[in-house]
Structure 1
Amino acid sequence: MNHYRKIGNILESAMKMVLLTGITGFLGGHLAVALLRAGYKVRGSLRTPSRRDATAQAIEAAGGNISNLEFVELDLTKDAGWNEACTGVDYLMHAASPFVTSMPKDKATLINPAVEGTQRALSTARNAGVTRVVLTSSIAAIVPGRGKAGPPHLDASDWSDPDGHVNAYVESKIRAEKRAWDILQPGTTTTELAVINPGFIVGPLLDSDPGTSGALFQRFFRGEVPMAPQLYLHSVDVRDLANMHVAALTAPAASGTRTIASFGAYSIMDMAECLKKAFPAYREKMPKFQAPDWLIRLYALVDADVRANVRELGYNPSLDEAPGRALLGRPPIPITDGYIATAQSLIERNLV
């Protein structure tokens, strides 16, 4: 059944052009590979043209046919080039969004580029008559800010409150996605919108940029996390996430909907235990114990980044995985396999 579905997808994608923003990112590279393997032509956006060759080499090494790959220079904060980039495009996959590991003093420096970039990309796609936009949002737009006593189960109808107890990154994801729905409100335009809301993204690296996810693993392996806060990360393997994005380009059920991409939740300490077993040589570098919440709250008084996440301590709701599993079309890769793949990539590339 999956064999015939794959053949059908390739036939449907033949000669179709996808504008992919954020191609140099961890997810973006995997999206390019998945799109090329599915038979699409890809026009990848770069903010820094000097990264063109290295990006193409990494995609080719991962199995992407770069004869169907081209690049265009775009910036989320500038109007230049967007109209030209959307010329001849059938689909837009908007994965580019700013991310920081340390929250900025002025949250607008993170929120404004995310919202304005979404405005530029989606408005241009709508005006160009693009068939469908697949937007990479986040479960940050669904889960955070509720506190430990929040609802035990959440689904795609739930939204985090941008004016609640959330950090700048979470607010950027909420406001950017809401802007997307405003621009491509179902019934008001011929351009359809499908939104994917991934959790913490793990899996193999395509190059030597560890990305945001890899940076956490680096801290583990370098002994920089002696104790683990009681934080839970709803996670997804990047290979599954890329395939979900490709499926969302044409799947009827994805149009006009949000789809949660998360297939398991593990605490920081659970992650550490998984890595200890898989990589015993680094065991002594890993977190030794789970810190009590009172200790993390005390430390948050002097650390703004910890303070920005303290409300999430102990909150671990179940998320509605069923639509995501249906879109993926097969059982997801076990999250622990994704953790191990991330760590193995870091070791092989001498990044720890």
Structure 2
Amino acid sequence: MPDRVLLTGISGFLGGHVGLALLNAGFAVRGSLRDLRRAAPVREMLRRAGADVSRLEFVTLDLLRDEGWREAAQGCRYLQHVASPLTIRRPRDRDELIRPAVEGTRRALRAALFTGVDRVVLTSSTAAIMYGHPRARAEPFTDADWSRTEGDGVSAYTESKTRAELEAWSIMEAAGRRDDLAAINPAVILGPLLDDDLGTSAIMIKRLLDGSAPAAPRVNFGIVDVRDVAALHLNAMRAPQAGGQRFLAAAGTVSLIGLARALRPRFPRYAGKIPRFELPDWVARLYALFERDLADNVGSLGVKRIVDASRARSLLGRPFIPPAEAAAATAQSLIDRHLV
């Protein structure tokens, strides 16, 4: 009998890729959904991607409800807690992101501890590492850094991911099982889509291709390919030395205009729509007064955060897929699926 893994958030962009990696590695997967009507599309999505879905089952779980968590974890050797709320728009109430992130983590880990799961892998984020620090910081961010949970530059998403990961470590430490938790802290995740659900990162690439971003704000992102992030989740689950560790995952830091320049020669059909110039900071700040999608990035204008992802690279066991390749894979998926 293959070992069973409880995978929360299997219908999401990263969750689907983690599910695919687990199934391809021979594990049985119990994927959580908020609505079981999503089960058939998710099963078909993974089948089309080449997975053996005979080892796939589904359960209904809600990050904000107690029902079903212990039953879902029963019989599972591992927990992959990927589910977490994410929105491209700034929420009107910060608790729209913070409550489900923190409470969902609490429910997932307590269920895992109650049923005796061997290893928990938590999807965190560089949002839990790099924010609320001085803009002028020059030294690279590492797995040892933590974002502040209040103050300038701390968005609701940053606070949600930071508090959720802190909650996970606190729960495992209180149980005397810190070494049975590993956290993956990816930067902006790009790469091939498994279905037509764009998610937040793919929307960024779509806007570069479809002409809705005539100029690029002067922002920089850490980028990592979803296939590398899924592989890190798998390796962190199986490698004994990964326990008790955080893994900052980024292939590099690039500007939005840098991504645009990388995409233009690869997709000449869209070259005329891809932005060629950066937006002056004062214009971006003015635009943010009316465009909520940009508001949370105003504090990052002109800031370039450098990261040290050497621990994650070692766990991955090979070089990261370059940011330009990850962006191109996203763009190709959007084109192939007629989403742009």
Normalised by the shorter chain, which TM-score bucket?
A: over 0.9
Equivalent position SS for 2:271: helix
Is structure 2 residue 15 aligned with structure 1 residue 28?
A: yes
Aligned mates of 1:296, 1:146 — CA distance in 2: 22
Matched with 1:291 is 279
Q: Deviations over 1:26-79 (max 9, x none)?
A: 111110110011111110001111111111111111121111111111111111
The alpha-carbon deviation at position 191 of structure 1 amounts to: 7.2
Aligned ranges for residues 197-236 of structure 1 at < 5 Å?
Answer: 197-236=185-224
Matched with 1:125 is 112
Matched with 2:335 is 347
Aligned mates of 1:313, 1:145 — CA distance in 2: 14
178-187 or 165-174, larger mean C-alpha shift? 178-187
Matched with 2:262 is 274
Alignment-mate amino acid for residue 271 of structure 2: R
239-248 or 280-289, larger mean C-alpha shift? 280-289
The match for 1:319 among 307, 317, 320 is: 307
Question: Does structure 2 conserve the Cα–Cα contact (< 8 Å) formed by 1:41 and 1:69?
Answer: yes
The alpha-carbon deviation at position 151 of structure 1 amounts to: 3.7
Aligned ranges for residues 1-352 of structure 1 at < 5 Å?
Answer: 15-165=2-152, 166-185=154-173, 188-189=176-177, 192-352=180-340
Aligned mates of 1:335, 1:254 — CA distance in 2: 25
Q: Deviations over 1:53-107 (max 9, x none)?
A: 1111111111211111111111111111111101001000000000111011111
Alignment-mate amino acid for residue 239 of structure 1: R
Question: Does structure 2 conserve the Cα–Cα contact (< 8 Å) formed by 1:90 and 1:132?
Answer: yes
297-306 or 165-174, larger mean C-alpha shift? 297-306
Aligned mates of 1:206, 1:189 — CA distance in 2: 35
Aligned mates of 1:148, 1:290 — CA distance in 2: 20
Question: Does structure 2 conserve the Cα–Cα contact (< 8 Å) formed by 1:147 and 1:312?
Answer: no
Aligned mates of 1:304, 1:26 — CA distance in 2: 23
The alpha-carbon deviation at position 111 of structure 1 amounts to: 0.8
Equivalent position SS for 1:19: strand
Taking structure 1 as the reference length, the TM-score comes to 0.93
Equivalent position SS for 1:154: coil
Question: Does structure 2 conserve the Cα–Cα contact (< 8 Å) formed by 1:148 and 1:314?
Answer: no
210-219 or 186-195, larger mean C-alpha shift? 186-195
Aligned mates of 2:210, 2:23 — CA distance in 1: 36
Matched with 1:9 is none
The alpha-carbon deviation at position 254 of structure 1 amounts to: 1.3
45-54 or 150-159, larger mean C-alpha shift? 150-159
Q: Deviations over 1:224-271 (max 9, x none)?
A: 111111111101111111111000002122111110111111100001
Aligned mates of 2:195, 2:295 — CA distance in 1: 32
Equivalent position SS for 1:317: coil
219-228 or 173-182, larger mean C-alpha shift? 219-228
Taking structure 2 as the reference length, the TM-score comes to 0.96
Equivalent position SS for 1:284: coil
What percent identity do the matched residue pairs reach? 49
Alignment-mate amino acid for residue 32 of structure 2: S
Alignment-mate amino acid for residue 62 of structure 1: A
Equivalent pairs counted in the alignment come to 339
Question: Does structure 2 conserve the Cα–Cα contact (< 8 Å) formed by 1:131 and 1:190?
Answer: no
Aligned mates of 1:299, 1:124 — CA distance in 2: 45
Aligned mates of 1:157, 1:229 — CA distance in 2: 30
Equivalent position SS for 1:157: coil
Change (3 A) 1:90 1:190: farther
Question: Does structure 1 conserve the Cα–Cα contact (< 8 Å) formed by 2:261 and 2:276?
Answer: no
Change (3 A) 1:186 1:256: farther
Aligned mates of 2:146, 2:281 — CA distance in 1: 25
Aligned mates of 1:191, 1:273 — CA distance in 2: 43
Aligned mates of 2:31, 2:290 — CA distance in 1: 41
